Amino acid sequence: MLQTATPRGLHEFVVASVLARYARPGARAVDLGAGPGAMTERLHALGCDVIPVDCDPAAYKGDLPLVTLDFNQPAFASQLGIARFDLVVTVEVFEHVESPIGFLRNIGQLLAPGGVAVITTPNVDSLPARAKFLLAGKIRMMDDNSEPTHISPIFFDLFRRQFLPRAGLRLREHFVFPPNGYQHTRKPIAWAMRIATLAFSGVALLGDNHIFAVEAAS
C-alpha cells in the first residue's frame, strides 16, 4: 500500500466507514488531490473505475494514469467531464484551495445523477481548536506550525448553511475522525478535552477531521 501524508488512520476510516457505503464495482470515481495515489489505490481495490487527479505529478507514485490539474482554476471540472462520476473523493484538499465554494461547485458539476462526493478537511470546530483560538487567537492545524498551504479553514456551520447551498449541494452524512477523541493533541490533554466535551453542546466537538458526504440538492 502506498504511503500518504494525511493523518494516520484517516484513509482506513474513510474507506471502512464511508466509502463502503458508496463505492461499488464499476462505479466511475475520481480522486481529487491524489498525492502519492494511496486513496486511488484503495478505490481501485473496491472495484471502482478511478481517475487520479493532482496538481503535482512529481508526488504521484501510482500505476493508473494521472491527470494534472490546478483546483484553483475556476472551471476545472470541464477538463474531467461534467456529470461523469458516481463518486468524487477528496481527502485533505479542501483547506488548500483558494475558493472553497468554487471547489464545491466544480465537485457538484462532476457528479453524475445520484452521485456522492466524500470530502475531508481539518476539524476547526473541535474543542481543542476552540480552546486554541480562545487562548492564542490561532486556528488549530492552520497556525504557524502547521502545513503552510492550509489557507481555508472550513467551519461546519458555514459549510452547511452557506457553502453547500451556494454550490447546489446538500449534506448527506457527516463524520469526524477519530470519532471519539483526538490524535493531534497530547494524550493527557486529549483525555481532558474528551471529558470536557460532555459539558458543551454543539456539533463536531470531537475529532481532528471532518468527513462530509454530499450530493446534489434536489
Residue 207 maps to which CATH number?
Answer: 3.40.50.150
Residues 81/82/83/89 CA torsion (nearest 10 deg): 60
Phi, psi torsion values for 150, nearest 5 degrees? -80, 105
Q: Does residue 5 lie in a domain region? A: no
141's grid cell: 492545524
Q: How confident is the prediction for the chain on average, in pLDDT?
A: 94
Separation between Cα atoms, residue 33 and residue 204, nearest integer Å: 24
Q: What is the pLDDT of residue 218?
A: 76
pLDDT digits (tens, 9 = 90+) for 59-68: 999 999 999 9
Q: Does residue 3 lie in a domain region? A: no
Separation between Cα atoms, residue 66 and residue 163, nearest integer Å: 29
Q: Does residue 4 lie in a domain region? A: no
Q: Does residue 95 lie in a domain region? A: yes
Q: What is the pLDDT of residue 3?
A: 58
Expressed as residue numbers, the domain containing 34 is 10-216
Q: What is the pLDDT of residue 102?
A: 98
Give the number of other CB atoms < 10 A from CB of residue 161.
11
Rounded mean pLDDT, 82-99: 97
Rounded mean pLDDT, 61-85: 96
Q: Does residue 67 lie in a domain region? A: yes
Q: What is the pLDDT of residue 1?
A: 59
Q: What is the pLDDT of residue 84?
A: 96
Buried b / exposed e across 97-107, counting CB within 10 Å, b at 16+? beebbbbbbbb
pLDDT above 70 (res 31): yes
Q: What is the pLDDT of residue 146?
A: 87
Count how many domains the chain has. Answer: 1
pLDDT above 70 (res 110): yes
pLDDT digits (tens, 9 = 90+) for 119-172: 999 999 999 999 999 999 999 999 998 889 999 999 999 999 999 999 999 999
Q: Does residue 1 lie in a domain region? A: no
Residue 5's pLDDT band (cuts 50, 70, 90): low
Residue type for position 79: Q
Residue 188's pLDDT band (cuts 50, 70, 90): confident
87 or 5, greater pLDDT: 87
Q: Report in angstroms the alpha-carbon separations of 145 from 1, 122, 138, 139, 200.
A: 29, 14, 11, 11, 28
Q: What is the pLDDT of residue 191?
A: 86
Q: Does residue 2 lie in a domain region? A: no
H helices within 55-207, ranges in order? 100-110, 127-136, 156-158, 164-166, 187-196
Separation between Cα atoms, residue 184 and residue 56, nearest integer Å: 26
